[in-house]
Amino acid sequence: MGDEMAEWLAYGLEEVFADSPEIGIVRKNKLYSGLLRYDSKGDLDWWHVARDMLAQEKADYVVMMLGIGDRQDIREKDLVKEAETRAKDQQAKDEAEKKSGQKTAKPDDTQEGGARAQPGKKLVGNADFRGDEWAKVYSRRIDDTIAALKSKGVPVIWVGLPSIRGTRSTSDVAYLNDLYRARAERAGITYVDVWDGFVDESGKYSNYGPDYEGQVRRLRLSDGLFFTKPGAIKLARYVEHELRRYMSNRVPVALPSGPAETAPSAAKPAERPLSGPVVPLTGGTPPKESDELLGGPGSSAIHGDATAVKVLAKGETLAPAPGRADNFAWPNGSAAQQPTAAAPQEAPVSETSANTKMPADATSALASAPSDTKQQERKKGSTGKVAQHRPARKPTPPDNANSRRPQDGSWWSQDGAPRPPRPVFGNWR
């Protein structure tokens, strides 16, 4: 309920609760209305209209936001009309009390709210905005409106006004918020302050500001009064926080409808055994009763895998597979990878020509020959010279041994010095 500000609040609440189909927003606001005049063409007041609306609606919560149009003086005829209306209401209340035989204390001139005007007494002049008389009249109207909202018996939330453009306008809105807050606290309803959400760091009006997710966006329209969609959603988030708090306190508790379950009998439960039956983990038949340990002398093998028995029981090592990480033979892929007997010491090789390349079959033949055999093979190289070859020792890897090397040793010379891959330009050694 409320004025055009309540229209934007309802729009924001519809966006916030869009994913909650069980929650509906019912708009019962009146554009360009206020506590001074509900309708410029009628004699209705907001507290009368609110009471009639709530009597016909099935509302769970009531939210009120208004006051933008109340920043004006109260006219003399409105004061006279209000005095006559209150006199009639008081007279009807006195007659009802006389019939029931109960008397209540009547407010005197010193009570909060000011003196009551007597019927027929004409008030001279208007009540200036922000004056003492204006504050008394407006506070009484706030109280009457809150009483009408509470007549439904549901939680009532009064939302304060945000700052608007202009120094004087901002000051007027802050003055109205002070009245709303004071009367709401006095009546015991919830007051929601949204002021800090629509001002800058210095407390002044600003069109831009952080939205609900923290991103700086435009929150107000160019008129300096109403909201953009992000601004309306941010405004609604303030009210949503209070609504969620009320909803969480109203979670229904399922009570048992049938008879209560009987308590368990007091009989002593059966005692559990200290240990259960022995079950072999290997899946075989249960072992016979004996003093011998499993795996001891005379017992069966601890495992059916021959490799596991060889390594785990006998402590033997397995030959590394070629190319595996635990194969440390050098060079990689050479005949030295195969497990053979220790090779005999060979005499150093006298190299005649560095350009002569020995075939792989000749190398294998020389490696398998006895140590006392001094057979020499002569082959004609590419330069026409004759070179004498013997099985060379395995070259020692250099510091940069992580580089890739071919199996035929073409990147390496017999003296262990690294050589670039062929072909090369020039006679580089």
Q: What pLDDT score was predicted for residue 294?
A: 52
Residues 177 and 223 in one domain: yes
Which residues constitute the domain of residue 198?
11-74+128-249
Closest-CA residue to 50 (of 187, 150, 148): 148
196 within domain boundaries: yes
CATH of the domain at 161: 3.40.50.1110
Q: For residues 236 and 23, what is the distance between their CA atoms, to the nearest angstrom?
A: 14
Angle at 279 between CA 273 and CA 283, to 5 degrees: 165
Residues 93 and 121 in one domain: yes
Q: What pLDDT score was predicted for residue 282?
A: 57
Q: Which residues of 289-328 are buried (b: 16+ CB within 10 A; e: fewer)?
A: eeeeeeeeeeeeeeeeeeeeeeeeeeeeeeeeeeeeeeee
> Quick one: DSSP state of residue 386?
E
Residues 87 and 225 in one domain: no
Residues 140 and 168 in one domain: yes
Residues 173 and 229 in one domain: yes
Residue 331, preceding bond cis, omega within 30 degrees? yes
343-376, pLDDT tens digit by residue? 445 444 444 444 444 544 544 444 444 444 444 4
Amino acid at the residue 414:
Q
Q: What pLDDT score was predicted for residue 381?
A: 46
Q: What pLDDT score was predicted for residue 91?
A: 73
Domain count, the chain: 2
Residues 88 and 228 in one domain: no
Residues 105 and 200 in one domain: no
385 within domain boundaries: no
> Quick one: DSSP state of residue 218?
E
Residues 177 and 238 in one domain: yes
Closest-CA residue to 30 (of 183, 154, 150, 145): 145
Q: What pLDDT score was predicted for residue 317?
A: 78
Residue ranges of the chain with per-residue pLDDT less than 50: 105-122, 253-258, 260, 335-337, 339-344, 346-357, 359-360, 362-387, 394-429
Is 231 in contact with 220 (CB distance < 8 Å)? yes
Q: What pLDDT score was predicted for residue 118?
A: 46
Domain C-terminal end among 207, 223, 249: 249
Residues 134 and 24 in one domain: yes
